[in-house]
Structure 1
Amino acid sequence: MKLLAAALAVAALVLPAAQAAPRPTVPGLVYTPGYGNSIVVRYDPMTLVRSGPRIRLGGNASSWSWSPGRRYLAIASAPQRLTVVDVQRMRVTARVRLAPGGGVTRAVTWARDRVLAVIETPSGAVVTAVDPLAGRVVRRTRLSGTFDFELGRLPDGLVFLLGTRDRIAPARIVVVGREGRTRVAIVPQLLIGLARRAGRLEQRRPGVAVDPLSRTAYLVGGDRIVTVDLDTLAVSDSGPLRTLAKVVAGSVRSARWLGDGLLAFVGTNWDSSNGWARTGLRIVDVRKRTARVVDRGASSFTVSGGRLLVESAPSRRVLGVTAYGFDGVERYRLELLGATWLKKQGSLGYVCRDAFLRSVLDLLTGRTLGSGFAAGTRCPTLLVDDSRG
C-alpha cells in the first residue's frame, strides 16, 4: 500500500508537467458597428476565443506599436487619441490627445522611451512626440506636406515620405528623432506628386525601404535607387540600375526592406504609347545594384511569416496566394476556394470571405492549421507586430 501511495504521489506531480502548456494569448481588436469604438481584448490566435479584461479605445484603431520590451502597446484611434496599454495587466496607463482639430493618425512607432505619431490633417502632416508613461505631449511639428504611406521604423525614430498637393516636386524624406525633432532630406533625382500636365494626369511616387541597421533609406523610383544616409541626410545616386527599364512619364512604387542587402518592390510605369504597365514583384540587391523579377503579374505584395506573399483574385470564388522566399524562389502556391482575402498576422494567415473567417494557415509552409469555424466568426485583427500604418 505504501508503494502504491508513493506511485500515485509521483504520478500526481508528473501529469501536470506532461500536459501541454496553454497557448499564449495575444491582444487583438474587436470592432463595434459603425465608427463608435474599438475594443482591445486577448485572443487565442488559433481558436479566437477571447479572454480577460476589455479596453475601450473610444474610436476605431488606425495604427499601433509595441514598446521595446513588449510590455506596453501604444494604439492610435479616432479622434486623434493615443491609448497606452500595459499588456501584462491589460489596463490603460495613459490616454493622450495627439493633435487638435480633424485628422487621422497614419503611423505610430515606439522610439525608446517615447511614442511618435504622424497625423494627417487638412493642412498637412503633424508629427507628435509623446511621453507614454507620463501621458503628455512633448513636441508637435507641422510639416508642409502630406503623409504618403511609405514609411520605415528605426529603434529611435521614424522615417516617411512627404507628399505634395496638386503638384509634382522633388521627393522629400522625413527623419523623426525620439524627441519628435524632424529633419528633411530633399531628393532631387526623384519626383513625387499628382498633377495634370499637357492635358493628361501624371503621377510620381517613389517607394521607400529603410535598413535600420545601417540607418539608410533606399528610395525606389523609375529606373534608379537613391540612397539617403539617415544620420547625415547625405543623398547619393549611382545612376540607373542596368536591370530596370527607363520610365518616360510616370511611376508609382511600393518597397520593403528584407535585410541582408535586399529590398523588394512593386509598382507601375506609365508612358504615352503603352499606358500603365506593372513592374511585377522585384528583388533588388543594393550592394550589387541588380534587380530581378520574381513575379511578373504582381501588383502588390506583403512581407509576413518570413515570406513574400502575392495575392490574386480572378473571381470571388477563389483567392490565389503565391509565397516566395527572400531569395526569390517560390515556396508554395495555394488556391483558397471561397476566400476573398488573406489577413496576415505574424506567422499566421487568416483566410477570410469578406469579414468572416474560413481557415488559419501557417504562412511559412502554407499548411492549414485550423478550419471549421462557426458561422459568423469574424476575421481577427491581432496586434502581433507593429502596424504598417
Structure 2
Amino acid sequence: MNVVMSGPTYYKGWYHLFYQYNPDSAVWGNITWGHAVSRDLVHWLYLPLAVVPDRWYDANGVWTGSATTLPDGRLVMIYTGATMESVQVQNLAFPADPDDPLLVHWVKSEYNPVIVPPSGIGLKDFRDPTTAWYVPTDSAWRVAIGSKNDSQHHAGVVLVYRTTDFVSYELLPGVLHSVTGTGMWECVDFYPVSTESAVGLDTSAASGPGVKHVLKASMDDNKHDYYAIGTYAAASNSWVPADPEKDVGIGLRYDYGKYYASKTFYDPVKERRVLWGWIGETDSERTDLRKGWASLQTVPRTVLFDQKTGRNLLQWPVEEVESLRLSSQEFSNISITAGSVVPLDIGKATQVRSLNSVDPRSCLLVLFVT
C-alpha cells in the first residue's frame, strides 16, 4: 500500500521520496516509510525500507514527516509516530551515514519523542510536522504541526514550535492560523513564494517585500487540499490571508480532482519549489487486495506565485517530464481572432499545448485530430 508522501528532499545529487507504505498488504496497517530515489524526478529506483515502526513511540505507525537541510548540509527528519496507545508524537530520524548520497540507512534519536501533544490538544489530533524554517531574529528554527480545536467551533489550527537544536522544543504562544468550522488540519505545508520572479524560494527565505507565504492544509473532514496566500510575521507568530474569503479550508484548492496529503520541497539545483500529491482510488479493499497495490503519487509539479493575477498559484509538471515525449510538431505564424475556428492537422497526437501568450479567454482554438 503506497499512501501519503513524507520528507521529499534533494541530497547529494539525488531526489528522495519517502512514502507511507504497508509492506505486508494493500490496505491500511503497519505503516512504514518506503524510499525511492531519482536523478530527474521521472525515473525512480526503489530502495530498502527507510524507517519502520519498531519503538514504543511509533509502534502504531511511522506517519507523515518532513526533511530539513541544515546550513552545514546535515539532514534532519521529523515525523509523527503513533505510540502503543495511539498517541500522536513527533520524532527525529537521521541518516546513519551522511556521506551516503542514497541515504539507505536511518537511525532514530535517543531523545524520541521530542514533542508530545500540548494541553488542550487531542492525543490523536497532533500530526504531520512541516519542514523547519530558520528565523534569524530569533536565532532558532520553527516547525508547524496541524491540529484542531473543537472548543472553538471545530476549528482547524496550526501550532508552531521553536528549537535551536531539534531536540528541545518550545511551543510558541497562540497559533499560526485558525479557521472555524474546518475541522482537523493534517499534512500542513508552509512555504514562501516570490511575487517578483519565477524562481522558487528556500523554506527559510525571509519575509518582506516581494515575498508571500503559502499556508496549505489537508482537510481530514472532506479529504481535500486547500491553500491560501498571505503575510507571515515571525515576531508575532502569525500568518494572515490576503483574502479572508479564500482562507484555508474555504477557498482555493491545489487540485479539484482526487488529490490529497500533498507536500512541497525546495530544489536548490533548479531553484524551484516542487509539489507532490497523493491519489487514492475509489476501489474497494477487496479490489486493492486482488491487484496487490493501492494509491499512487502524482507527477511532481513546479509551483509559482501567479504574478498576473496576484491571487493564486501556478502549477505545471516539472520540466523533466518533457523527456518522455517521443516526437512533437510546432505550428507557428498562425493568426487567431476572437471566435475563430482554426483546423490543424496534428496527426495522432494525444496532447496539445499553446506556446504563445494568447489569452485563452479571448479566443476559441478548435483542434481536429486526424
Larger Rg: 1
- TM-score, normalised to structure 2, is 0.42
- TM-score, normalised to structure 1, is 0.40
**Structure number having the greater strand percentage:** 1
